[in-house]
């Protein structure tokens, strides 16, 4: 199991290098982290103002997660 800092680092690096929506291979490259950790990483980065809710890559990553995870995380940008 990966640590949250590792998940945060991976998500941040992936989003920083993208200005267009993420591709399916890029999204599946994060599958080993699990959607909970990816969601927590997105929330942490948003809180630090390192990602933004309207970025196409961020939106694609969020939409990749199951609805149950989005509800649980109470996604609020």
Spatial distance between the Cα atoms of 35 and 41, rounded to a whole number of angstroms = 10
Closest by CA to 34, choosing from 66, 71, 5, is 66
Containing structural domain, residue 46: 4-73
The residue ranges of DSSP E strands in the chain, in sequence order, are none
pLDDT of residue 52: 57
Cβ neighbours, 10 Å, residue 35: 18
Total domain count, the chain = 1
Q: Output the CA angle 68-40-44, nearest 5 degrees.
A: 140
What pLDDT, in 10s, does the model give residues 22-39? 666 766 677 667 777 877
Reply yes or no on whether the pLDDT at 75 is more than 50: no
Q: What is the pTM of this model?
A: 0.48
Q: What are phi and psi of 73, to 5 degrees?
A: -75, -10
């Amino acid at each position: 199991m990966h640590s949250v800092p590792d998940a945060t680092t991976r998500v941040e690096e992936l989003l920083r290098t993208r200005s267009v929506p993420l591709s399916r291979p890029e999204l599946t490259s994060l599958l080993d982290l699990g959607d909970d950790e990816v969601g927590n990483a997105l929330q942490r980065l948003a809180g630090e103002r390192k990602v933004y809710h309207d970025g196409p890559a961020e939106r694609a990553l969020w939409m990749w997660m199951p609805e149950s995870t989005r509800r649980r995380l109470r996604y609020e940008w």
